[in-house]
Structure formats: structure tokens, C-alpha cells
Structure 1
Amino acid sequence: MTSAGTPSRFLKSVLQNGVGRYVCQLKRISIVFSKTGESSLGVRDFIEDGVVDYAKKNPGTVVYVSPQQRVRPRIVAEYLNGAVREETVTSKTSSQISEVLTKLTNQSGLDIIRIRKPFHTDNPSIQGLWHPFTNRPPRLGAVRPLRQSDGKGTLEVK
């Protein structure tokens, strides 16, 4: 936690994802719905039309369909790092449920928090960060914008 009270962390890759190949972090999806409930109508439509397409697009994810009596429809996502996310899909349409599934599939399971810096190392340099003007001789003066020509003379870009 920072002094402002919002959690933050350094940028990190989940299981070195993207170094060799992409590994989808979503392990299991459970679709829980009611067979007769009015609020589960969109979920039942999605199961009839879109669940097979979703399963074909995501072969590394196990899809469970669980009809239960008198429950609110929800989607439970379990990730490789052990995190569990639950989304309530009460009175949503089939396309909205597909969007929720896409969102859950693209997440890593980590909490969404503020990133402190775009870079981090466990062995920091005592010399500081390098940039193109680090070793520029001071006799050359400050870096100024280039001059552009407009045909009538020169204009200085500021």
C-alpha cells in the first residue's frame, strides 16, 4: 500500500508469459444458472448458441455448465495462480455474457492495481538510468528544436 492508500506493485510478467509462447491464465469456467428462472434467460440462450464456439476458441480452458434450482446466474472463473473471480450475469443477453467471458479469458487472475513504474530490477545500478544525452559534452550547449523551412525563410519550431 502506498501513502495514498491505494495498492500498487511493480510491473511483472505472469509465469514469463509471452517469452516463449502465450499461456492463457484461465483454467476453468463454471456457468451456474437456473433452468426456469427469468433472470437466467440470457445464460440459457448463450448455452444453446455460444458455449460450444467459446470452448472451441479456448481449448485450454475447461467449461462447466451447472444448472441449479433457484440460483442467481453467475460465471465463476478459476486461474492458474489460484485466484477465483465471480461475475453475476443476472438479466444479461447472450452477447453481453460473451463479452464477460472474453474479459475473464483475457485477464491473468492478478488483482488490477496501480503499477508503480514501467520497469523494475532486483539489482539496481548505482550509476542511474542511461539516456541519449547522458554523455553529451557541455560545450555543445543545450538541445534545441530543429529549424524547418516554409519556402519563404526558416521557421523555428518551438
Structure 2
Amino acid sequence: MTSRGTTSRFLKSVLQNGVGRDFIEDGIVDYAKKNPGTVVYVSPQPARVPKIVAEYLNGNVKEEIITNKTSLEISQLMTKLTNQSGLDIIRIRKPFHTDSPSIQGLWHPFTNRPPAIDPIMPRP
């Protein structure tokens, strides 16, 4: 509010708004045809930051802001969001997990090998 009691704001240029619009007009139909398992909604919301919202079947939601991105970058971002599962990206500490680990170690093909078959002998 200004000293006069009325709200004020700066003028916004609509010239930078065309990047995302180009993708919606040209690329979104092709993207939807190539990815039939993905549902695409276009929701124009004036005076809002342009963003892509991905909702996954497990209930997770991811939002990516696409301000000042080219059509190619938006397409790559949508492909990335389509290929993800919606789960958080975490570092996996071990390639396996069990609730009751064996105290004998991991099994491998030579664990229970009969000694009569090709016995392992020290080298002379």
C-alpha cells in the first residue's frame, strides 16, 4: 500500500510469457500422443508462476517451475517426471536387505561344493 491508502504494483511485461506458451501450442499434443499413460492438463492461471505439477499414483506430488525455460527443456523435464516413480530419490546403502541376516555370510555357487569334485589344493 502506498501513502495514499491504495494498493500499487509495478507493471509486468507479457513478453517473457511466450516460452511456455510455445510448448503448449506446439509440443504438448505430440507429448501426449507419445505418452498415452500420462494425463496432461493445461490450466491457465494469470499472475501465477508457470509450473508443471506431477501427481503420481502413490499420492506424491512434485512441482517444477518452468519460468524462462525453452520448449526443449520443458519437454525433457516432462519426460523426466514421467519416468520417475514419485518416490523420493535416496541413496541405497546395500543392494539387498533381510530382516533376519545370516551369520554364515552370503551364499555363492561354491558354498556347498563337494570336496571330491575338483579339490582345491595348494600350488606346488
Same fold (TM over 0.5): yes
Equivalent of residue 44 in structure 1, options 21, 29, 44: 21
- After TM superposition, the runs of 4+ consecutive aligned structure 1 residues lying more than 6 A away are none
TM-score, structure 2 length as denominator?
0.74
Counterpart CA distance in 2 for 1:123 and 1:37 is: 62
1:58 aligns with 2:35: yes
Structure 1: runs of 5+ lacking an equivalent: 1-35, 143-158
Structure 2: runs of 5+ lacking an equivalent: 1-12
Give 1:38 deviation, angstroms.
3.7
Give 1:133 deviation, angstroms.
4.3
Bigger radius of gyration, 1 or 2? 2
Aligned position for 1:140: 121
Counterpart CA distance in 1 for 2:95 and 2:112 is: 24
Give 1:106 deviation, angstroms.
0.7
Counterpart CA distance in 2 for 1:123 and 1:73 is: 49
What amino acid sits opposite 2:121 in the alignment? L
**Is the CA contact (8 Å cut-off) linking 1:75 and 1:88 kept in structure 2?**
yes
Aligned position for 1:117: 94
Q: How many residues align?
A: 107
Aligned position for 1:94: 71
**Is the CA contact (8 Å cut-off) linking 1:77 and 1:104 kept in structure 2?**
yes
TM-score, structure 1 length as denominator?
0.59
Structure with the bigger RCO (C-alpha within 8 Å, sep 6+) is: 1
Counterpart CA distance in 2 for 1:39 and 1:90 is: 9
Counterpart CA distance in 1 for 2:70 and 2:87 is: 27
Equivalent of residue 72 in structure 1, options 49, 52, 77: 49
Alignment RMSD (CA, Å) = 2.3
SS at match of 1:62: coil
CA-to-aligned-CA distance 1:14-60 (integer Å, 9 cap, x gap): xxxxxxxxxxxxxxxxxxxxxx8444322101011110111111212
